[in-house]
Amino acid sequence: MLSYHNKVVWITGASSGIGASLAKGFASLGATCVLSSRNEKQLDWVRNQLAHPERHLVLPLDLTASDTFPDAVGFVLNAFGRIDVLVNNGGVSQRSLAAETSLAVDHQLMEVNFFGPVALTKAVLPYLRKSEGQIIVISSIAGKFGFFLRSTYAAAKHALHGFFESLALEEEGKVRVTIACPGKINTPISMSALNENGEKHNAMDDNQSTGMDVDVCAHKIIRAARKNRREVLIGKKEIIPVYLKRYFPYMFWRIIRNQKAV
């Protein structure tokens, strides 16, 4: 099992949900966390919930502003001299039909969920190589199969698998890569999900409120990363279709069309 004691762990999307819970988990293992997202006030709140808040750093970052990433990397290196783990967690979901979603919204979803993590990874990679570090990518079961109202979100998550599986091969022996695919997790992700016009969905969907506890999810992500697993599926019965699609595709298509989209 890998140890995160005294490791510098940079988490995007740390102001809420899975990212905030991952910060708690890594901090409890003795890591120093760099907490990034757009909402600085919320990041401060998360930091103050961690054991030894003074050990951790709040670093506001917008995943759509890749021109700011080199400075952000410099800031972390100035503060701690190294980066051991990058957790590409920040993301935004979608609640709109493909046919009705504007191309501008498609671009926004790809920017936050795919190009942002890719650009940040490229900026951090030289330092992860130096520390023989690790990248943890928070994909989704929507990275394994398409689903109602999630066309571009699912496309971005599928794209993460293509990119990070390739990177894992290229960096073998230098940088570890773990891809986590959560199912339905109890976080406010549906609140900020974008509709066809790029407005917030602003509703807590049943799929979220009845989902897996976020701390249980974060614990499973960290356990998979500590074991250097290449991929992990996390959730309740909603992860079964991933196996159906692989082994019984006919059954998959019959079952998936009856699942609730919200």
Ligand X SMILES: NC(=O)c1ccc[n+]([C@@H]2O[C@H](COP(=O)([O-])OP(=O)(O)OC[C@H]3O[C@@H](n4cnc5c(N)ncnc54)[C@H](OP(=O)(O)O)[C@@H]3O)[C@@H](O)[C@H]2O)c1
Q: Binding residues for ligand X, per CB under 6 A?
A: 12-19, 37-39, 42, 61-64, 89-93, 112, 138, 140, 182, 184-185, 187-189, 192, 208, 211
Nearest CA-CA partner of 221 in 176, 180, 164:
180
Query: Minimum Å distance from CB 22 to ligand X?
Result: 9
Phi/psi of residue 233, nearest 5 degrees: -100, 135
Specify the residue, 92 or 132, whose C-beta has the smaller distance to ligand X: 92
Phi/psi of residue 176, nearest 5 degrees: -85, 150
Residue 239 has a CB neighbour count (10 Å cut-off) of: 18
**What single letter denotes the amino acid at residue 198?**
G
Specify the residue, 6 or 259, whose C-beta has the smaller distance to ligand X: 259
Report, as residue numbers or ranges, the catalytic residues: 153
Specify the residue, 188 or 198, whose C-beta has the smaller distance to ligand X: 188
Which residue in the shown chain puts its C-beta closest to ligand X?
17
Helix (H, G, I), strand (E, B) or coil at 247: helix
CA 251 to chain centre: 29
Specify the residue, 8 or 120, whose C-beta has the smaller distance to ligand X: 120
Specify the residue, 131 or 192, whose C-beta has the smaller distance to ligand X: 192
Q: What is the DSSP letter of 185?
A: B
DSSP string, 81-112: S---EEEE-----B-S-GGGS-HHHHHHHHII
List alpha helices for the chain, DSSP H. 17-28, 40-49, 69-80, 103-110, 116-130, 151-170, 189-192, 206-209, 214-226, 240-247, 249-256
Query: Minimum Å distance from CB 123 to ligand X?
Result: 14
Helix (H, G, I), strand (E, B) or coil at 201: coil
